[in-house]
Chain A
């Protein structure tokens, strides 16, 4: 498969949805696991009452605050999963680019953390509104990030940025300080990202050389006049 065949295309679309859903549900399960232990610890302390032993109110307050913190974390994850799932509702929709990039970066942080890497964002200026496919665009950015992460043999910091392009469209940049060495697999990834961008009426530019990838620039066309 050359990275642009129909089967490869379909598999990548499904794999993207699966990878994100699995990662977020894994993290939600971690939240449940912690709440389970904290509730158990609360029970352990309450059992002391049955044995006429003193309990420390400060300790109970501390546990209850930790539970509340995990509930907030869980709420944020569920919201993220929900927003991501709904991004597939309409193939074309009005998209706030900054908001969408923030979402996909947040989703990608767990993948980065497992690779001992980090992702930072550079979003100067105002929100950019585009009419595009949110699902496909998220996927293109996610694959750019994953490609950088797959090459993370050191503590890599990936930067995701956005800016308005000269023609009124937008430019998304995914780069890292350490260049990514080109491989057959990464070239196939790039071919897939290029196909995503082609579907979006956009462009993909890889910088700079023959052997490495320093930066991937995704160009998006301006929203059509309504």
Chain B
């Protein structure tokens, strides 16, 4: 079975590198970047099954990134991550085409469950 290809996008470098390492230990092909612009560039170069995307980042924020991803790659699943999720933010994410909207910190087993759900969608 082909491993899942995940792109982790968050401006906290320590979060990105640690989560990528944990996913790799679970035989998931994971990569990380710390800017929305880098994420869009990486996605243009290489396909990913799932993008795990922080909402609040310097420069292009998560909401703008998801809209751009969905415009170019409607099949790609995007899971939004945030430290503070208001009802409005959840609705905005849903309208932008997010597969799921998760609050930080996130449990790795829950994350893997959502990854599997997204992959089988």
Contacts and interface: CB of A to CB of B under 8 A. Distances in A.
Interface residues of B, number: 18
A40 B56 contact: no
B104 A41 contact: no
Interface stretch (B15-23, B65-73, B93-101, B113-121): B15-23
Interface residues on A, range: 20 to 34
Contacts of A70: 14
User: Would you call the interface of chain B mostly helix, strand, loop, or mixed?
Assistant: loop
B83 A29 contact: yes
B58 A34 contact: no
A69 B14 CA distance: 11
A25 B84 CA distance: 9
A30 B84 contact: no
B92 interface: no
A30 B22 contact: no
A36 B56 contact: no
A16 interface: no
A34 B83 contact: no
Interface in B34-56: 56
Contacts of A26: 56, 83-84
Contacts of A44: 22, 25
Contacts of B21: 41
A37 B105 contact: yes
B22 A37 contact: yes
* Top 6 A-B residue pairs of the complex, sorted by shortest distance between their CB atoms: A36-B105, A37-B18, A33-B105, A29-B83, A33-B104, A34-B14
Most chain-A Cβ atoms within 10 A of its Cβ — which of B14, B22, B104?
Answer: B14
A142 to B, nearest CB: 19
Contact of A40 (B58, B83, B104, B108): B108
Interface in A12-36: 22, 25-26, 29-30, 32-34, 36
Given A38-B18, A44-B22, A114 B56 contact: yes
B12 to A, nearest CB: 5
